[in-house]
Structure 1
Amino acid sequence: MSSRNAGGSSLDLSSCAREPIRTPGAIQPYGLILVLDPATLTVNARAVANPALVEEVGDPLGQPLDQILAGTLAHCGPVLQGLQQGTSHFLGAHRVGSGGYHHTVAHRIGGDIIIELEAPVPGEPGSLEDLYPSIRRFMAAIEQAPTTQALCEIAAVHIRELTGFDRTMIYQFDPDWNGAVVAEDRNTVLPSYLDLRFPESDIPAQARELYRQNRVRLIADNQYTPVPLVRVPAIADAPPTDLGPAMLRSVSPVHLQYMRNMGTGASMSVSVVSEGELWGLISCHNQLARRVPYHVRTACEFIGQILSLQISVKQRAVLVEERIARRAIQVRLMGRMAGDTDFMAALGRDQRNLLALTESTGAAIVHRGECILHGECPSQHQVMQLVQWLTAQQMDGDIFCTDTLPLDWKEAEAFAGVASGVLAISISQIHDSFVIWFRPEVVRTVRWGGDPRKEESAQPLSPRTSFEGWKQTVRRQSLPWNDVDRDASLELRTAIVDIVLRKAEEMAALNEQLLRSNKELEAFSYSVSHDLRAPFRHIVGYSELLWSSAGERLNDSEKRFLDTIVESAKSAGTLVDDLLSFSQMGRSTMGQIAMDMTALVDDVRHKLDMEYTGRAIDWQIGALPKVQADPGMLRLVWQNLLSNAIKFTRDTSDPRIEIGHDRNDTEDIFFVKDNGCGFDMRYVDKLFGVFQRLHHVDEYEGTGIGLANVHRIITRHGGRTWADGQVGAGATFFFTIPFVTGDHL
């Protein structure tokens, strides 16, 4: 990583982490910055990129707000005095002499008010509304994205389309703050960095914190000459002015050299913040200098915030589902141990779930000198040596976890193939008793953007010059353990200690686990409600306000844009509501009673009358039996299935919907059959998944959650769901309700 910069002078990278990046004392040369005293609104410091402007309108230094720049900012006084600490406010566009209209933003930070006036970019959009079609295309695209990876790929394409940069990358941080390029869109001007990793030192901690606070940063030209911040004599010796929130803030010479070494003349970053933490960056590069206009940056920031919310929701949903799956395994293991004084034998009778609890390939149970192995493990002798070593370690809360055991303990080299990763819980305060899970060595090839270890002696550290892919083979390391693995193991420890060894009340611990599961689902519901509902309400509300205040001045296209905004936001709100209903369905208490299916179907059908007003549907309803089930949940099942049948026969000339029943030795089988548009059986496995749709939303409305709810409800009743269909010939949906003893006689 050591080299000298192009001019021959050295730049000390070792001090990058301590460099005063918030207080550079200069700005980039694309406008001007004024630093005001909050009490008097007098200019205490200024940086003006164009010296002719000072000659034209006078030097603002030491002048009050109403006299600077020919009084163009005089009316902003009340807004500036009301600005809260740590906030920013867009003041609009203001004419600055012959320099044209400058985009004006005020920031309140520390003991200063900072006003930055950014010079316009020739040909820039007149307003954010001009960019709305691009934003709308992005929002439509992410609705179909099934994974976080797909979200990132879509964002990379749309940001590059908006900005015109040569290369746009989505850069994700790992737990050690190394970064990896997980998605990329580019032309052929700059090379691909896809899948390359970059060391933590490339973006030091203080820079990451600034990225977290300020969502957008632009360096328009790596060869720019900084414009110094000039102060009035009275504050000449005061602490440096914090320019952290200012877009025009000058950047580190080390970073400019880094850009030159990388071959990028301009760069822009948009922060991706998930759950309040910096998840990654949307990083844009251009070979030549390039300024991105204010409104384009605002659109990119908006896309970055949407991407952040979507990533948060998807990651939270995956985490909650994973925890619930592990909890189900936990319950099965607890069921094995309940009432059995020999917990080692009880766990051994369910080896599959014991290993699945932490997604391991082997496990050892060591208690009172006895060692029982399950799956792929070191030998008993090696495990007992490991126990002795574990006993000597400082365990954090009765748990020890590593994915590099051979690096931590040399003797583990002998069995690295089966146990490079170890997760161990102590199950006794008296004996050397452990449950230990093992993961094998996984030999991986990691591609770095340059050799992260490379150092040239006799030269001071400077930005590295090589960004060629450098391959590192990682050995003696397993797949990492995550929080879900650790929590699952600790919950098992609680079960062993409290339920088996101490013979505590079995149901108390079980209820505790279920309560945690409910709290996680409630937290997920709150996150969705809080993070997604409010922005959509704001979009609808402000769009309607804009319609009421400026509707007469809008042309037909602009009115259509507003209508589309409101419609899209309301549709997204419906999606959120359906998602919340889906998450709540998994934790609702079931109250099973004897219920008449015929009466329930008739009631649901009549309540759906409004959905097919004016259409003559041939309803064929056979005799349906009584079943033992939760009436509220079964009502939702029939409501979803019948509503779908009504919807998908909408374009059929003679619509017919049949509801029937069959029975086998163990369950009642119900079906809803229609002669509507049907579906392709190649995609039948997708039908009951969340957000899975086989028809475009423009053809048939819906969010793709209804059948997922049907599947979840029937599964909770112990039943099955499946479907049969043919394109253009209709579809049949089946579900079953198992017999309760004696109810089918």
Structure 2
Amino acid sequence: MNKAINAELLDLSNCAKEPIRTPGSIQPHGFLLALSDELTVLQASANLGDWAGCSAAAVVGGPLAGVIGEDGVQRIVAQLGPELGSHPFYAGTVGIRSKRHFDVLAHRWDRVTYLEFEPVDRAEAADFRHLYPLIGDFLLKVNEAGSIQMLAQQACEHVRAVTGYGRVVAYQFDPDGHGHVMAESLEAGYHAYMGQHFPATDIPAQARELYLLQHIRLIQNADYHPAALVPALNPLTQQPNDLSFAALRSVSPVHLQYMRNMETLASMSVSLIVKGKLWGLISCHNRDPKPVGFEKRTACEQLGQILALCIESREDARELQFRLEVRRIMVAMLAGLTQGSNFIDNLSSVFPDLLRFARAAGAAIVVDDRILLHGDTPGKEEIAALVDWLARSEHGDLYHTDNLSRAWPPAAAMVRNASGLLALPISRIHKHYLLWFRPEYVHTIEWAGNPREKEAADKALHGAPLQLSPRTSFASWRETIHGSSVRWHAGELELALEFRTALLGIVLERAEQMAELAGELGRANKELEAFSYSVSHDLRAPLRHIVGFSDLLLESAGSEDAVQRQRFLKNIKESARLAGKLVDDLLSFSQMGRAALRPTEVDMNDLVNSCIHKLAPETRGRDIEWDVAPLPVVWADPTFLHLALSNLLANAVKFTGQREMARIRISADDHAQETVFHVDDNGAGFNMDYVHKLFGVFQRLHRMEDFQGTGIGLANVRRIVERHGGRVWADSVLGESASFSFALPKHEDEDEADDGAQADNPTKQ
């Protein structure tokens, strides 16, 4: 056999363009018929004459009975029903003119019913009885297996016993798509791949998609000559046939060459699907051509599905245990952070727990120019430069990488102790960060063949790295990986975000204490009291949910009820998100009182249009009538005024949610000393007896279950307007309408405007 790569055969631009779903042909160890709803033959494989004694061209356009006889048609039709789907279904065993007998597989796809005929040595129907001992024996050994690797080993041995293949391996895909052989069953004389890795390029993306659709794939003889479909196009669509679900579908010539390079002439793959994703494969190899009957393939497919369910259950239990342990550390840290009055000193006091929390070797706290270090970390100057880069890059609420030097080249100088980074910003305004560092993890990967060989071979043959060709060597090849750390676990990242939310809550609590010490008077004291209530009620409520459902998860750790665990995790996640939203809104409210105003001329027509456009995702699908009267130009800070107006319009949208037709009007009145704006709606309104509470922090006049919100939006409106020297008020008829108004003073010039902007107390009520 010539194992050299045939450049003419494989001259495709790249794997993504190869038509593996529409090859236009089948493997010739059986034949295929494509039928209309009336059982007229639309297409037949070109090898029909080899099996049925009649040519493909002769039967196209004729009845199915012309190929398999009336008795065969009656037997097949009795098994077909309206529920016939895309996956091959065993429709029985039939004999045809040539006195041969065939197992018939049926499926429907793209408006066509496909019948696939595979030759068998028996006249009777397939016997699936041996499926039950196989599955039963595997299930008995499930509880004995102490690990996923042991389960996979049992599966490999069972599959090899059923199929008679010389080598059966099970491998798992890593996050980069590389396959790691975790179990193997071998016949004497076969090369072992246990513990080795197969590069992701061995299975292109579109092939992985097919493994998700069709969970089993058989290649009986890699040296086959494909049998084309006659005619070549689907007569109903005038497009190439999509054979994604056909058991006989012809496979890529590149893969056939890959098999020959691997000294494998027969192969079978069983997909391991975990939570809707391709977790791995059971892959079977044989040196010589090897048929595997449909009933045996079905047994192997069922075993693969059971193995996938066991993997999911074991991984869920392991993930739950990991998250609970990290959460215990986080709870202990938070308890320590509330002891003293100095937040930064409190953080440094829990440094050992911070390292355990993120499984890190070093940690740093950065507060402006102050940097506190613990463990194995880069120097302060390097960390200061790193924080500057993080602040410029705007990575959001969390940034993580297991190869920092790839994202930020200067980190090459600190690979030893900072190959991995997890960064939490503690402030949206200042350079306040909590950083964790992981050291370089130098490790060796053993590949089944040099993964760089394919690229080199392509360049040699075609002069470009994207030409399509299989690699030719599977000899063990070791690669040492430098510059990376251990990957960050998804649970660590999610809990780090929760920890950030809790830290911000503590910061806000400290801000409240400082405000009380400063002796803020009047309304400020009332706001702080409301804030204190929110921390004890609004914020602690979701945290209680988190603790409660975590306890339930602990109690159910040994349960196999995945649905219940998913519900608990979903409730924990939603509670954490609500707590985060409360904290973010509180930060925004606190910043309203500190940030400097930058007044300028503001066209209120443009501002209103911008706010309405911003609300488009929330109003999609609703019937809202916006009535915007001509509005004047005012002198104000456009950013703050945009936030105030957005809150008012969002309120109007929210409280008209139960109206079939919502009507929202924005208008203005011009007075000698001020300009008054009104936002009117026909929504739920509110009880005027409680109007004095309306603009307070966390003051809600409706139940949370009816209208969700944090109770901070209107408090922000009042603070913004009053910082401009204006006033706010509201009027309503309960159940019918609401009107919110604010007045902005008129100014002669910028100096006068700036003086008014500095006032942080109401001048009118």
Task: Bin the TM-score by the shorter chain.
Answer: 0.5 to 0.7
CA distance in 2, matches of 1:331, 1:236: 64
Residue 13 of structure 1 contacts residue 463 of structure 1 at CA under 8 Å; is this kept in 2?
A: no
Equivalent in the alignment of 2:423: 424
CA distance in 2, matches of 1:312, 1:330: 27
Match of 1:482 among 473, 484, 489: 489
User: Do residues 55 (structure 1) and 53 (structure 2) align?
Assistant: yes
Equivalent in the alignment of 1:23: 22
Decide whether aligned partners of structure 1 residues 233 and 530 sit closer, same or farther in structure 2, where only a CA change above 3 A counts. closer
Decide whether aligned partners of structure 1 residues 513 and 377 sit closer, same or farther in structure 2, where only a CA change above 3 A counts. farther
Cα root mean square deviation, aligned: 3.1
Residue 90 of structure 2 contacts residue 104 of structure 2 at CA under 8 Å; is this kept in 1?
A: yes
Equivalences, count: 532
| Gap runs ≥5 in structure 1 | 532-578, 584-745
Displacement after TM superposition at 1:213 (Å): 1.2
Residue 87 of structure 2 contacts residue 214 of structure 2 at CA under 8 Å; is this kept in 1?
A: no
Residues 177-212 of structure 1, C-alpha deviations (whole Å, 9 max, x = no match): 121212111123321112222222211111111111
Residue 85 of structure 1 contacts residue 110 of structure 1 at CA under 8 Å; is this kept in 2?
A: no
Displacement after TM superposition at 1:78 (Å): 6.5
Displacement after TM superposition at 1:526 (Å): 9.6
Displacement after TM superposition at 1:144 (Å): 0.7
How do 1:316-465 residues align onto structure 2 when only pairs under 5 Å count?
Answer: 316-338=316-338, 340-395=340-395, 397-454=396-453, 455-456=456-457, 457-460=459-462, 461=467, 462-465=469-472
Decide whether aligned partners of structure 1 residues 302 and 448 sit closer, same or farther in structure 2, where only a CA change above 3 A counts. same
Amino acid at match of 1:51: G
CA distance in 1, matches of 2:435, 2:13: 41
Amino acid at match of 2:313: V
Decide whether aligned partners of structure 1 residues 512 and 498 sit closer, same or farther in structure 2, where only a CA change above 3 A counts. farther
Amino acid at match of 1:354: L
Match of 1:513 among 543, 546, 570: 546
User: Do residues 269 (structure 1) and 276 (structure 2) align?
Assistant: no
Equivalent in the alignment of 2:213: 213
Residues 490-533 of structure 1, C-alpha deviations (whole Å, 9 max, x = no match): 111111112334554463453253256368779989973669xx
Residues 595-643 of structure 1, C-alpha deviations (whole Å, 9 max, x = no match): xxxxxxxxxxxxxxxxxxxxxxxxxxxxxxxxxxxxxxxxxxxxxxxxx
CA distance in 1, matches of 2:83, 2:97: 26
CA distance in 1, matches of 2:124, 2:286: 18
Equivalent in the alignment of 2:43: 45
Deviates more, 1:264-273 or 1:401-410: 401-410
Decide whether aligned partners of structure 1 residues 104 and 515 sit closer, same or farther in structure 2, where only a CA change above 3 A counts. farther
User: Do residues 82 (structure 1) and 82 (structure 2) align?
Assistant: yes
CA distance in 2, matches of 1:10, 1:241: 22
Deviates more, 1:501-510 or 1:110-119: 501-510
Decide whether aligned partners of structure 1 residues 459 and 67 sit closer, same or farther in structure 2, where only a CA change above 3 A counts. closer
Task: State the structure with bigger RCO (CA 8 A, min sep 6), 1 or 2.
Answer: 1
Residues 145-195 of structure 1, C-alpha deviations (whole Å, 9 max, x = no match): 111111112111221121111111112111121212121111233211122
Decide whether aligned partners of structure 1 residues 230 and 127 sit closer, same or farther in structure 2, where only a CA change above 3 A counts. same
Equivalent in the alignment of 1:157: 157
Deviates more, 1:474-483 or 1:323-332: 323-332
Residue 271 of structure 2 contacts residue 280 of structure 2 at CA under 8 Å; is this kept in 1?
A: yes
Residue 338 of structure 1 contacts residue 500 of structure 1 at CA under 8 Å; is this kept in 2?
A: no
Amino acid at match of 1:477: S
Decide whether aligned partners of structure 1 residues 232 and 415 sit closer, same or farther in structure 2, where only a CA change above 3 A counts. closer
- Who wins on radius of gyration, i.e. which is larger? 2
SS of the residue 1:155 aligns to: helix
Amino acid at match of 1:27: I
How do 1:576-587 residues align onto structure 2 when only pairs under 5 Å count?
Answer: none
Decide whether aligned partners of structure 1 residues 302 and 8 sit closer, same or farther in structure 2, where only a CA change above 3 A counts. same
How do 1:468-507 residues align onto structure 2 when only pairs under 5 Å count?
Answer: 468-502=475-509, 504-505=535-536, 507=540
Decide whether aligned partners of structure 1 residues 234 and 194 sit closer, same or farther in structure 2, where only a CA change above 3 A counts. closer
CA distance in 2, matches of 1:233, 1:418: 60
CA distance in 1, matches of 2:78, 2:161: 39
Equivalent in the alignment of 1:202: 202
Displacement after TM superposition at 1:361 (Å): 1.4
SS of the residue 1:119 aligns to: strand
Amino acid at match of 2:435: I
Amino acid at match of 2:506: I
CA distance in 1, matches of 2:15, 2:155: 30
Displacement after TM superposition at 1:97 (Å): 3.0
Displacement after TM superposition at 1:303 (Å): 0.7
SS of the residue 2:240 aligns to: coil
Equivalent in the alignment of 2:584: none
Equivalent in the alignment of 2:576: none
Decide whether aligned partners of structure 1 residues 88 and 197 sit closer, same or farther in structure 2, where only a CA change above 3 A counts. same
CA distance in 2, matches of 1:419, 1:120: 62
Amino acid at match of 1:226: P
CA distance in 2, matches of 1:233, 1:12: 23
CA distance in 2, matches of 1:378, 1:55: 78
Residue 93 of structure 2 contacts residue 126 of structure 2 at CA under 8 Å; is this kept in 1?
A: no
Amino acid at match of 1:369: D
CA distance in 1, matches of 2:121, 2:389: 65
Equivalent in the alignment of 2:281: 281
Amino acid at match of 2:410: E
Displacement after TM superposition at 1:4 (Å): 7.8
Displacement after TM superposition at 1:55 (Å): 3.1
Residue 232 of structure 2 contacts residue 240 of structure 2 at CA under 8 Å; is this kept in 1?
A: no
Equivalent in the alignment of 1:662: none
CA distance in 2, matches of 1:421, 1:490: 17
Equivalent in the alignment of 1:636: none
SS of the residue 2:270 aligns to: strand
User: Do residues 64 (structure 1) and 63 (structure 2) align?
Assistant: yes
Residue 151 of structure 1 contacts residue 307 of structure 1 at CA under 8 Å; is this kept in 2?
A: yes
Residues 9-40 of structure 1, C-alpha deviations (whole Å, 9 max, x = no match): 451465222211111111111222111123x2
Displacement after TM superposition at 1:45 (Å): 0.5
CA distance in 2, matches of 1:513, 1:381: 39
Decide whether aligned partners of structure 1 residues 33 and 330 sit closer, same or farther in structure 2, where only a CA change above 3 A counts. same
Displacement after TM superposition at 1:51 (Å): 1.4
Equivalent in the alignment of 1:295: 295
Displacement over 6 Å in runs of 4+: 122-125, 518-527
Amino acid at match of 1:253: P
CA distance in 2, matches of 1:13, 1:471: 30
Residues 340-399 of structure 1, C-alpha deviations (whole Å, 9 max, x = no match): 44232223222232111111111111123221112221122222221112112231x311
CA distance in 1, matches of 2:230, 2:478: 48
Equivalent in the alignment of 1:11: 10
Equivalent in the alignment of 1:723: none
Amino acid at match of 1:507: R
Residues 404-440 of structure 1, C-alpha deviations (whole Å, 9 max, x = no match): 1123223222221111100001110111111111111
SS of the residue 1:64 aligns to: coil
| Gap runs ≥5 in structure 2 | 511-534, 570-765
Decide whether aligned partners of structure 1 residues 52 and 465 sit closer, same or farther in structure 2, where only a CA change above 3 A counts. closer
Amino acid at match of 1:49: N
Residue 264 of structure 1 contacts residue 286 of structure 1 at CA under 8 Å; is this kept in 2?
A: yes
Decide whether aligned partners of structure 1 residues 438 and 124 sit closer, same or farther in structure 2, where only a CA change above 3 A counts. farther
Residues 51-106 of structure 1, C-alpha deviations (whole Å, 9 max, x = no match): 15443699542123455411212354475451355344321222233353322121
Residue 326 of structure 1 contacts residue 357 of structure 1 at CA under 8 Å; is this kept in 2?
A: yes
SS of the residue 2:430 aligns to: coil
CA distance in 2, matches of 1:521, 1:210: 38
CA distance in 2, matches of 1:99, 1:340: 90
Amino acid at match of 2:240: P
CA distance in 1, matches of 2:27, 2:202: 22
